[in-house]
A = this chain, B = another copy of it.
């Protein structure tokens, strides 16, 4: 298996694109801006889904499903939200094709099948869901509504990249309705914390929790909480958002409830989502010039076993030894694959599983059979060691935990080394240029300053960290007073 992978230092962006395709995660399709998620990539996404779904259910949420289409009049009901998504909507205008009389064998849109009202392919589902909630909520006893949806959404992006920005993507979107502002704010924060836990404990990606500025806020939200991660090239990536919607959608869709005193009030809302974009974050946080590096908690195959043999007899002896090991590993809930393909040589297999990021590789040859050993290789740090077969299953189980932790620690150390406090705009530009990462700086709180800095440096305010200390300071750009540092970065 020849990898021919561009290295990260040569061209990070090219390395990413090649890796996603060569490791069988995804590829571009024949449809502009839409990707095909290949079985190996989808298996990782399924593991993410399973964990997130469990976490949502444990926090009291239920799944449901709402329509793909939003009629235009419904879409425009919440004006800010509509404005935010209007420029990137796929619009269904007709419902039938007919034979093209001028081109035998070809079809054309039937002009007699024009819809009375255009349908927007959902870019997000607040409109369709709040129009439904109106029928579900009468009294405070009907609240809270704690609902999540796994779905595809479409945003007509002009420049797309596999996983990071595609016209269609898969995501989950939670939409909740509450009787009080406090409860809705608490829900928004809770789900941001769920996302942070997931990112750190499963993806092994350290994140900063924070608030978006007004400029970067979700269209239609009063407040957007986010988790921000840092990629190996020093660019930030927004890994999840959780919005406190205030009563904006309740007012737009007239969703009221009778409180305990019988008085009508508007409902308070939240929405929160993560998407297949997380796949991009996973790749860019851990992988290296040899290929993918997957955290064991999300690897579809955690351990691959490659036999080294010359004769069929050797192979069957190895297979017998391996079957004991695989049974032991499976008892410990380790996902293991015995790669006994006869069509490929061990060297090819080693390279393939390295490219695909399998955390642990075990090789077994005739010598190992003689000595009662296995060769155990770690994908993350590319080391090998010989281990006695006695107790090896438990050793592997613990090794996987070790790898999971080491990946997180490595990413955390990189991230922490790339948060630079800056008090001067020249230095600000210099750091962004030379080192990248987050720049922690004072900002005067105005959208105008934010925009000027973005125009000059391409850096945006990724978030106002929740744990930012109160601190007397002056804006790095205008010199106006500021009481908190915010995190700037160039971002995906």
Chain A residues near B (Cβ < 8 Å): 27, 29-31, 34-39, 42-43, 45-46, 62-72, 74-76, 79, 82, 86-99, 105-107, 109, 118-121, 128, 131-132, 135, 141, 147, 151-152, 154, 156, 168, 170, 343
* CB closest residue in chain B, given A136: B38
Contact across chains for A343 and B141 when beta carbons are under 8 A apart: yes
8 Å CB contact of A76 from B89, B105, B132, B147: B105
Contact across chains for A107 and B90 when beta carbons are under 8 A apart: no
A436: min CB distance to chain B, Å: 32
Q: Which of A30, A70, A94 has the most CB of B within 10 A?
A: A30
Contact across chains for B88 and A96 when beta carbons are under 8 A apart: yes
Please, how many angstroms separate the alpha-carbon atoms of A176 and B91 in the complex? 32
Contact across chains for A92 and B90 when beta carbons are under 8 A apart: yes
Do A105 and B93 form a contact, CB below 8 Å, given A42-B65, A67-B29?
Answer: no
Do A71 and B107 form a contact, CB below 8 Å, given A93-B93, A94-B93?
Answer: no
8 Å CB contact of A96 from B74, B86, B152: B86
* CB closest residue in chain B, given A37: B65
Q: Which of A62, A64, A72 has the most CB of B within 10 A?
A: A64
Please, how many angstroms separate the alpha-carbon atoms of A364 and B29 in the complex? 59
What's the number of copies of this chain in the assembled complex?
A: 2
10 nearest interchain CB pairs? A34-B67, A39-B62, A86-B97, A37-B65, A95-B156, A91-B94, A31-B67, A93-B93, A90-B92, A76-B107
Contact across chains for B132 and A109 when beta carbons are under 8 A apart: no
16 pairs from A and B in contact (CB 8 Å cutoff): A29-B66, A30-B74, A31-B71, A31-B74, A34-B67, A35-B67, A45-B65, A46-B63, A67-B168, A69-B90, A72-B97, A91-B93, A91-B97, A93-B94, A121-B121, A151-B152
Please, how many angstroms separate the alpha-carbon atoms of A32 and B168 in the complex? 23
* CB closest residue in chain B, given A106: B76
Contact across chains for B64 and A42 when beta carbons are under 8 A apart: yes
A126: min CB distance to chain B, Å: 13
* Residue numbers in B under 8 Å from A67 (CB-CB): 29, 31, 34-36, 168
Contact across chains for A42 and B62 when beta carbons are under 8 A apart: yes
* Residue numbers in B under 8 Å from A119 (CB-CB): 31, 90
* CB closest residue in chain B, given A74: B30
Contact across chains for B96 and A87 when beta carbons are under 8 A apart: yes
* Residue numbers in B under 8 Å from A106 (CB-CB): 76
Please, how many angstroms separate the alpha-carbon atoms of A94 and B93 in the complex? 8
A105: min CB distance to chain B, Å: 6
8 Å CB contact of A69 from B34, B75, B98, B118: B34
* CB closest residue in chain B, given A46: B63
Please, how many angstroms separate the alpha-carbon atoms of A147 and B170 in the complex? 18
* CB closest residue in chain B, given A93: B93
A427: min CB distance to chain B, Å: 41
* CB closest residue in chain B, given A71: B31
8 Å CB contact of A39 from B38, B63, B68: B63
Contact across chains for B86 and A65 when beta carbons are under 8 A apart: no
A163: min CB distance to chain B, Å: 12
Contact across chains for B79 and A64 when beta carbons are under 8 A apart: no
8 Å CB contact of A29 from B72, B132, B152, B170: B132
A336: min CB distance to chain B, Å: 16
Please, how many angstroms separate the alpha-carbon atoms of A63 and B42 in the complex? 7
Please, how many angstroms separate the alpha-carbon atoms of A88 and B98 in the complex? 10
8 Å CB contact of A128 from B30, B39, B45, B76: B30
A74: min CB distance to chain B, Å: 6
11 more CB-based (< 8 A) A-B contacts, given A82-B97, A86-B96: A29-B67, A36-B66, A36-B67, A42-B63, A65-B170, A68-B168, A75-B97, A87-B97, A92-B121, A109-B118, A151-B152
* Residue numbers in B under 8 Å from A121 (CB-CB): 68, 92, 121
8 Å CB contact of A95 from B45, B64, B91: B91
Please, how many angstroms separate the alpha-carbon atoms of A97 and B128 in the complex? 17
* Residue numbers in B under 8 Å from A34 (CB-CB): 67-69
Please, how many angstroms separate the alpha-carbon atoms of A20 and B382 in the complex? 57
8 Å CB contact of A132 from B30, B90, B118: B30
A377: min CB distance to chain B, Å: 25
Do A79 and B105 form a contact, CB below 8 Å, given A94-B91, A132-B36?
Answer: yes
* Residue numbers in B under 8 Å from A72 (CB-CB): 97, 107
